[in-house]
Amino acid sequence: MTDIKRPMRRSDREMPHDFALYVIDKSAYASLAVMGETYPYSIPLSIVRIDNQLYFHSATEGKKVELFSKEPKVCLSFVGDVKVPSVYDEEELAQIKVDPKQWSQLARNVFTTEFESAIVFGKIREVTESKEIRLALRAIVKKYTPEHMNLADQGIKAGIERVKVYAVSMDHVTAKRKRYDSEGKEMKNQRGWPQASDL
């Protein structure tokens, strides 16, 4: 069994494929890791998804461009919403403080975070076909600056010679979530997904 196929340790927090796509699409950026010459190399990137492909653009030269030409296997980490939960009020916290039997609640429910994450394993390729390049760049404009879509074609035409566009196949995708409900109970085993506020 390869590492990427290994079952998730906290299977009660594992989320389905559609949740992973939800996190990918809402994330402002992803961190892409590729094997470097002596250490793994990780960089934050603005990523957009079109079907089962992830796209980003890059300068035509640089460290990552060199590495991508040597190693096609990459891993991307996406983070959605993150916040410290508010499970207890001040009176309840005061009661926990004086009762050593309840101190374990602090680690589980106070000194923790609610989070959403997705991880993608795939292979990277440089996009060379003009139609796909323009499709990817327009999708990037739509995600990050939708108010300027009317200027997308002009911007792409002016800058297309100065960028490379890359695509990453989504060969294996996992997602994880930690969230509490209104009663302060952790929503395990995909409880509450999907719900209107998440779509």
**Assigned domain for 44 exists:** yes
**Average pLDDT by consecutive 10-residue portion of the chain (199 residues)?**
69 94 96 92 96 95 90 95 88 92 87 93 96 95 95 91 95 94 89 80
Q: What is the pLDDT of residue 3?
A: 63
pLDDT at 25: 96
CB 29 within 8 A of CB 44: yes
164 neighbors 62 (Cβ within 8 angstroms): no
CATH of the domain at 90: 2.30.110.10
Q: Is 182 within the bounds of a domain?
A: no
Q: What is the pTM of this model?
A: 0.87
For residue 1, what pLDDT is reported? 37
Residue 199: inside a domain: no
Domain range for residue 113?
A: 3-176
Any domain includes 125: yes
pLDDT at 85: 85
Q: Is residue 194 included in any domain, yes or no?
A: no
Q: CA 41, 139, 32: angle at the middle one, nearest 5? A: 10
Instruction: Count CB-CB contacts under 10 A for residue 72.
Output: 13
Interatomic CA distance for residues 146 and 194, integer angstroms: 26
**Residue 195 domain flag:** no
192 belongs to a structural domain: no
Q: How far is the C-alpha of 101 from the C-alpha of 125, rounded, in Å?
A: 55
Q: What is the pLDDT of residue 117?
A: 96
The number of folded domains in the chain is 1
pLDDT of residue 87: 87
Identify which of 148, 151, 136, 131 has the alpha carbon closest to the alpha carbon of residue 57. 136
Rounded Cα distance, 24 and 30, in Å: 8
**Three-state secondary structure string covering the chain:** CCHHHCCCCCHHHEECHHHHHHHHHHCCCEEEEEECCCCEEEEEECCEEECCEEEEEEECCCHHHHHHHHCCEEEEEEEEEEECCCCCCHHHHHHHHCCHHHCHHHHHHCCCCEEEEEEEEEEEEEECCHHHHHHHHHHHHHHHCHHHHHHHHHHHHHHHHHEEEEEEECCEEEEEEECECCCCCECCCCCCCCCHHHC
Flag whether 158 is in a domain: yes
Residues 177, 115 contacting (CB under 8 angstroms): yes
